[in-house]
Structures are given as structure tokens and as C-alpha cells.
Structure 1
Amino acid sequence: MKIRTIVTWFTLFFVSLTIAVSCTPATDVSTSESPSTTAVQMGFSAWPGWFPWQIAEEEQLFAANDVKVDLKWFDGYLDSINALAAGQLDANTQTLNDTISSVAAGSDQVIVLVNDNSTGNDKIIVREEINDIKDLQGKTVAVEAGTVDHFLLLLGLEKAGLSPDDVEIKPLETGAASAAFVAGQVDAVGVFAPFTTKALERPGSKELFSSKDFPGAIPDHLVVSRQMLEERPEAVQALVNTWFDTLDFMNENSDKSLQILAKRAGVTVDEYKDYDAGTTIFSIEDNLAAFEPGDDMTSLPYAAQEISTFLVENGLIEQAPDLDKLLDDRFVKAYAEKQKT
């Protein structure tokens, strides 16, 4: 199972296939307008903050919001990134990092919803003798190159005054990286849940740091193509409405929801419960606050600028993209207004 990738050379290839951006002005959002009968092609993949979309499908919450959705599961998150960039999807679940990387490579994508923040489910796990980030110097770290956990590793190294050259990166797919760490072949590993559970099976292993130590650095989103946004804003609104209806369903039907989430994740209900604290699901209030300008990483406009700069400085993208049209909060605002009536 591949995971949440922030940049890859393959992405650059697929982005080149993207259809040229429409110059049509954005259509005003109307919550009363009925979406087209054409199905929205939407991708999602393995991450606790995105599994709730499975509930939306199984409980027919898309249909309840008058939108037809062809929800496509991707075992490989990278495949979903490429599919959106190539115009094969209208919407996809992606991190802020990935979306910035795709936009930098030429794809016109828009973030319309915050699903969650990673608050501990992305981890750097180390062997027994490593007790400080500076102890990583000269050590071998297994991580899927270009993934969010690679990004997390770089954040930790920078915080400790180290550079990427101070460690030896062993590039492995995340499942393989976890297995290599458990087998004692590397000193540390960057993984996310559920691979964190596997990695911690190594005797003496422990978490060195996690996404919890970098609040707001790894937000996860619903991202749509510019074409989808401009041609079918009513369908985008329906997707956003469905997300919040799904959260309501989960609150009212916790046992049934956990069964669906655990099954989609391929773990037991008890194992899934262990991941809860590591992913903070965003409510409508959280969304409204996140889209506001601010001076720390809890603000999406601020976080986008900081992450863009970080990606350039670390050679993960060639140049910073124009972020002026990356975020569109019209849909969460429209949902919030509807709840007041």
C-alpha cells in the first residue's frame, strides 16, 4: 500500500498530461441548484482522515445530497495524485504538501475542504540507542522518498540544526521500510498509521518525534480540479455538505462507523481506535478558522507559503507556485450559513 506522497518525479510526468486550464470566470456557489447527473470521479486512499468517505458511500450520504459520485479507492496514493493531475479524476484526497507540489508542476487544483490534521499518526521511529534527533546524524533512515514522512523527517532534522546530508536515506516503499526497520536493517524509519504499529514491534523501538510536534504542518484535504470548480460548483458544494453530514452520522452511530472505518483500513476496531488521537478530524468551525489568514501553521494561507518555501529550499520542487488561487473557502462558508437557517 503506497501512501501520502508530497512530490515525485513521476508526478511531474503525469501533470504534463493535464488539460489546459479554463479561463472561464468562477461561477457563484448556489446550494439550491441541483448537481448534474454526471458522476463526480473522486479518489481517496489510505489515511484515517479520508476513510470516512467510505461511510458516505455505504450510507448513501452522497445521494442524500443530490450528487452522484463514483468513489474510487486507490491502494497507491501516488496513483490518485497522478489521476487527478491527468484529468482522470474530478476530486481527490490529498495533503497540502502534495497539492502545492502538483500546482508547482503545472496542475490547476483547488483546496475546498480540510478533512483533518495529522496530529501524531505520522512518526519517525528509532532503535533503542537513539534518544535525540541529533543522534540521527550518520544513521540510516528508511522512508519512502518524497512522501509526507520524508517531509516530516526533514522538518525534524531542520529543527535540530541538521541537514538531509547528515543522515543516510534508504528509499523504500513504506510497508517495506517498516519491515526493514523491524528486521534491524536500518536505524530509524518514517511511517504513518497503520505501519507505525508494525514498526514498533521491534524490541526497544520508540517514537522519536511525530506530526504532533509540528502542528498544522500536515493537513489533509478534499481537492478539486479548477475545471470541476468552475463548471460544477454545485457538485463541489454537495461534496462538502456530504463530508459534514458524514461527521454527523459518525457522531450519532459510532459503533457502526467504527466497523466501516476499520474494515476499510484493514485493521481491527480496537487497532483503529488507537489511531484516533493521531488524526484530528476538522469540524465546520475548524474549517472556517483554518482558511483564515494567520501567522502560524494553523492558518492554511500561512502554512501554504511556509511549506512552499520549505519544498523549494529542500529541492522537492523547482520553484514556488502561485498560491493565490489555491484555497477556496466559499463552500465551507456556504455550508456554515445554511446551518444558521
Structure 2
Amino acid sequence: MKRRSLLLGAAGAALLAACGSDTSDAATPGTVTLGFSAWPGWFPWQVAQEKGLFAKNNVTVELKYFDSYTDSLNALATGNLTCNSQTLNDTLSSVSGGSKQTIVLVNDNSTGNDQIIAGPGITSVAGLKGKKVAAEQGTVDHYLLLLALEKAGLTEKDVTFTPLLTDAAAAAFVAGQVDAVGVFAPFTTTALGRSGSTAIATSKDFPGAIPDTLSFQSQFVQDHPDQVQAVVQTWFDTLAWIAANKTEAVSIMAKKGGVSDADYLTYDAGTTIFTKEQNLEAFAAGADAKHLDFQANKIAEFLVSTKLVDAKPPLDGLFEPKFVKAVP
């Protein structure tokens, strides 16, 4: 769940874990601390920083990159970030745990970069019956696995589910310790390194199921709307800069992701970056996969059914489209 880094997980009101990234310092006055981790839809923030686009919008932003995505979720939930790049799934988990958060921007939808990858001899999801499948419990790739199994007429009870952190799951698959794995880019590249492996289901098969968003502390949104607006404006300015300077932008993002420029380009189709118009459609109420409220209700059912949360998280006030609407 995008979202995504060397570790991925659903966070409620868990205590902040110290793991590789310094999140202990509170933001200095007037500074927005923005967390992100290894997912193609979030690397544009690195471009924004390196090209001075936050400053052009008169907002001071301290980017905090997390090797552990889970730590970024915990940091926002415990007030150690102003905002964080995270999946809708994980925001709902945090809200269920009591964290007050507001989603102000949809960065992207996963359209292929989340994958269920199977080993030699398994060519379909139906072929997973009786097999050992690894994924990080409660994450978007666990969610994708359940969606794929349901489509194939199976349930999680038809496989031996092995909960592992995403990097460990990919490593276990490559080592032949499990028959299939649910992972996100760039760990898809790792998993597909196993001879004879193939992606038997991807997020492309389930349009709109995995939205990646920017979630703020709700109180900050109320107290500092101008700064929130400047961050949202910077996002769209950054997308325009990337479109005009793709080669340089790819180099910046690939370097941050620890992959080659060529490998980074292979992720393009699997992450659909949202335009302003797609954002507005997502924020609007609706009864299909294009709309955040529809997806939030489906994801909430998943979280409750898998006992990751005790009760459906409240959705009132979770989505705030006014900042996207104000972008020229």
C-alpha cells in the first residue's frame, strides 16, 4: 500500500518505532514535515525539493524519507509528521486507531505495480490453491491477494498465507521458500528475478482499488490552510516540471529509489499519476471504483473482515477536496 518501501504495513495508533529515519524532532515553526517512501507515485516529491518548487510556492517543507514505510505511518499517527504519503488503506487503519487525518490529494492509483507473482508451474490465481503465499499482512498487496482469490472463486483459506514484511517476502520467494508472493514496485523486480516466475494478477486487474494519497494531520489542515494549499499547488507544479524535463526527472527519482533509470521507466505504466481532473472525480461522491468514498467503504470492510481493525473507521471529514479545487 503504496505505501511502500522496504517495509509496508497498516498502522493504527501504534507507538513510533525508531528504525533508520529520524522522526523524533518536531517540526520547526512554519515548516511542513512531509513523509514519503519507496513508491513511484511519491518520488516526485524529491523532484520538488531538488528543483526548489516548494520555495516557489512560499512554503517551507522538510522532506523525511523513510526506509520503513510502516515508520512513516506511525510518525504521522503520533504527530511526528505534518503529512505523509500513504495508501487509503493505511489511512483508514490509522483513523480506526484514533488518529485524526485528512486526505487532501490523490497522488496516483496503482495500475500494475502491485503484483501477485507466482513461481514456475503456476500460471493463474486458481493455481494457488493449496500453495504457500507470502505478503505483508494488512497491506495493499494482502488486499490485492484477497481480491484476486475472490475473482478466482477462492478465499484465503484455500492457500497457506505466510505473513512477512515486504522485503522479506520477496526474498523468501526468490529463495523458493514460498510458491507465490504479493509485492509492490520496486520489489516486483526482485521477485521476478526468480527463474520461471510470472505475475498472475496485478492492480491493473482491479482499477481504483489502490489509491495513494497525501494525508495531513486534521488539526494542521484547520489551522494552516495556506500551507496545505501551497503543498498541493507544488505537487501539480512538479508534475508539470517533470513533463517538461522527463530525462532529468527520471534520473532524480531513480536515484532516490536506488534503481537504474531504465528500471524506473518500466514502472511508468504501473502507476497512474492523477491529474487535477482525476483528483476532482476521485473526491466526488460516487458508486464505482473511481471514487474515494466507494473505495474507502470496500477497504473498511476488508480491514474489519481480516480483524485488522475492530470497527469500521469513520469517514466523515476524511476527504477534503477544496485544495485541489483551488489549483488553477
Q: Is 1:165 paired with 2:157? A: yes
Q: Which amino acid aligns with 1:311?
A: L
Structure 1 vs Structure 2 CA RMSD: 1.4
Could you tell me how far apart the structure 1 residues matched to 2:7 and 2:116 are?
15
- Corresponding residue for residue 28 of structure 1: none
- Corresponding residue for residue 62 of structure 1: 54
Q: Does the 8 A contact of 2:8 with 2:166 survive in 1? A: no
Worse-superposed segment, 243-252 or 167-176: 167-176
Q: 2:269 aligns with which of 268, 277, 298?
A: 277
Q: Is 1:209 paired with 2:213? A: no
Could you tell me how far apart the structure 2 residues matched to 1:44 and 1:204 are?
33
Q: Does the 8 A contact of 2:117 with 2:182 survive in 1? A: yes
- Corresponding residue for residue 110 of structure 1: 102
Unaligned 5+ segments in structure 2 are 17-27
Could you tell me how far apart the structure 2 residues matched to 1:258 and 1:201 are?
23
Q: 2:132 aligns with which of 140, 144, 157?
A: 140
Could you tell me how far apart the structure 2 residues matched to 1:143 and 1:182 are?
13
Unaligned 5+ segments in structure 1 are 16-35
Deviations 1:215-239 (A, max 9, x none): 1010000110111101101100000
Q: Does the 8 A contact of 1:54 with 1:260 survive in 2? A: yes
Taking only the aligned residue pairs, the percentage that are identical comes to: 56
Could you tell me how far apart the structure 1 residues matched to 2:189 and 2:182 are?
12
- Corresponding residue for residue 321 of structure 1: 313
- Corresponding residue for residue 19 of structure 1: none
Question: How far is the alpha carbon of 1:37 from its aligned partner?
Answer: 6.1
Could you tell me how far apart the structure 2 residues matched to 1:257 and 1:237 are?
23
Could you tell me how far apart the structure 1 residues matched to 2:312 and 2:144 are?
19
Q: Is 1:124 paired with 2:128? A: no
Q: Does the 8 A contact of 1:122 with 1:193 survive in 2? A: yes
Could you tell me how far apart the structure 2 residues matched to 1:103 and 1:232 are?
21
Q: Does the 8 A contact of 2:138 with 2:303 survive in 1? A: no
- Corresponding residue for residue 50 of structure 1: 42
Could you tell me how far apart the structure 2 residues matched to 1:4 and 1:217 are?
17
Q: Is 1:296 paired with 2:296? A: no
- Corresponding residue for residue 14 of structure 2: 13
The alignment of Structure 1 onto Structure 2 pairs a total of residues equal to: 313
Q: 1:2 aligns with which of 2, 6, 13?
A: 6
Q: Which amino acid aligns with 2:201?
A: F
Deviations 1:280-330 (A, max 9, x none): 001111111111111111111111112112221222221101102110000
Could you tell me how far apart the structure 1 residues matched to 2:94 and 2:203 are?
22
Could you tell me how far apart the structure 1 residues matched to 2:303 and 2:41 are?
23
Question: How far is the alpha carbon of 1:166 from its aligned partner?
Answer: 1.7
Worse-superposed segment, 40-49 or 308-317: 308-317
Q: Does the 8 A contact of 2:143 with 2:302 survive in 1? A: no
Q: 1:247 aligns with which of 239, 242, 248?
A: 239
- Could you say which structure has the larger radius of gyration? 1
Question: How far is the alpha carbon of 1:132 from its aligned partner?
Answer: 2.3
Deviations 1:98-135 (A, max 9, x none): 00111111101010000000000000000122122222
Worse-superposed segment, 142-151 or 284-293: 142-151
Runs of 4 or more, structure 1, over 3 Å off, are none
